[in-house]
Amino acid sequence: NSSLPDVADGGPIFTEKLKNWTEKNEKRIILSQIVSMYLEMLENTDKTKGHVRHIFEELFTLKNSLPDGLKKLKDLKDLAKLPMSDLKIQRKAVNELFSVLQTLVETPTSSKRKRSQFQRKCKC
């Protein structure tokens, strides 16, 4: 029952987390996790009730339209576990530095800027 007084204890669960994710693609990642958690919560509920079944089906449809957040979450956890003081890891990281920077430079917003700058130069 969501009207019990203890619901307010500790503040919001999901809506507070959404504030930290501002970019559209970022938000889709966290939303995929949240939707999965709702589906898990509703998995063992009585789906003979029409409104519960409808919510479950809508969430399931939404989940299929969102990116696989679990894979991305695993990638982030793996990165956080990397022992950056390990010399072998450091050598590998340095070896990949140019590729990582190249990927960062080629983000959609920066490529838009490059195109518009290029177009201005061409018109001169």
Look at the block and give the residue holding tokens 């003081």.
Answer: 85
Q: What is the pLDDT of residues 13-35, one digit of tens each?
A: 888 888 888 888 888 888 888 88
User: What pLDDT is recorded for position 11?
Assistant: 77
CA dihedral 100, 102, 107, 108 (to 10 degrees): -150
User: What pLDDT is recorded for position 67?
Assistant: 77
Spell out the domain ranges in the chain.
Answer: 8-84
The low-confidence residues of the chain, meaning pLDDT below 50, are: 110-111, 124
Q: What is the pLDDT of residues 105-117, one digit of tens each?
A: 886 654 455 555 5
